Amino acid sequence: MLDQSNQSPSDLHIVAIHAHPDDIEIQCAGTLLRLKQLGCRISVATMTAGDGGSAELSADEISTIRRAEAASAAEVMGADYTCLEFRDLSICFDNDSRRRMTEYLRRTQPDVVLTAPPVDYMHDHEITSMLVRDACFNASVPNYKTRQWDPAPPMQKIPYLYFMDAIEGTDHFSNRQPVDFIVDVSAQFDQKLEALACHASQREWLRKQHGIDEYLESCRRWGAERGTEKGVGYGEGFRQYKGHPHPTDNLLKSLLDVTIV
């Protein structure tokens, strides 16, 4: 396991992968903005296009809208955006899905991967976490074939892997999930909310449900709660995957001067 912490930020490619449009903005947009400011290249990907996210529009209609919203949010973060074209509530841990995720990592060649936590409130999030973890290992194995018509070459190294916070930081039983460290995103929080607000279709649906702008307010509340644990205005929590053969030095800590909690 090589220590890569001496790399220049401008040489690093950070890839964030989560299940649905808006998950990345809620859970790690502030951290991505900080990394972008350091000079890192940023890419974001969602497993689905949010095809289940409307009570009025068809799956194809809402998917078109939400892809465009996700691309606009990525632009706010200075990132490129990819939808991996899974379907809402149908992300499965099978060989086709494993190959698709591995191919994406081989095409993007990330140094650092941020993804959904292993335990979260819904299946799509947890299976995304499993697929990304699996692909981080598989992508460097030359004999693991993705069966694409024009396959990308294997990765030359296993990337750093970090899990984002669970939604509201809890497991299936409302027990608080621990994090290894919290990134201070106070200075980036307004821009984080700007990126989240790009998801207007989701925001409007929740406005109808709650009668207030709960979409942004819940993000603000949770960011403030994690920030309190660090003694700052707003924070985002992460855990680092340190299983063999991933690098175990904490690259994000060295880049962002975070405090281990």
Tens digit of each residue's pLDDT (9 = 90 or more) over 104-148? 999 999 999 999 999 999 999 999 999 999 999 999 999 999 998
Q: Is the pLDDT at 64 greater than 70, yes or no?
A: yes
Mean pLDDT of the chain: 93
pLDDT of 53: 85
pLDDT of 5: 54
What are the sequence ranges of the domains in the chain?
A: 11-260
Q: What percent of the chain has pLDDT over 90?
A: 84
| pLDDT, tens digit, 9 for 90 and up, residues 180-217 | 999 999 999 999 999 999 999 887 767 766 666 677 88
The whole-model pTM stands at: 0.94
| pLDDT, tens digit, 9 for 90 and up, residues 149-164 | 899 999 999 999 999 9
Q: Is the pLDDT at 4 greater than 80, yes or no?
A: no
* Helix H or strand E segment including 123: helix 123-138
| pLDDT, tens digit, 9 for 90 and up, residues 212-234 | 667 788 899 999 999 999 999 99
Instruction: Dump the DSSP string for 33-79.
Output: HHHHHHT-EEEEEEEE--TT--SSS-HHHHHHHHHHHHHHHHHHTTE
- Do residues 241 and 248 make contact, with C-beta atoms less than 8 angstroms apart? no
DSSP at 231:
T
What is the CATH superfamily name and number for domain 11-260?
LmbE-like (3.40.50.10320)
Backbone φ, ψ for residue 11 (5° rounding): -90, -5
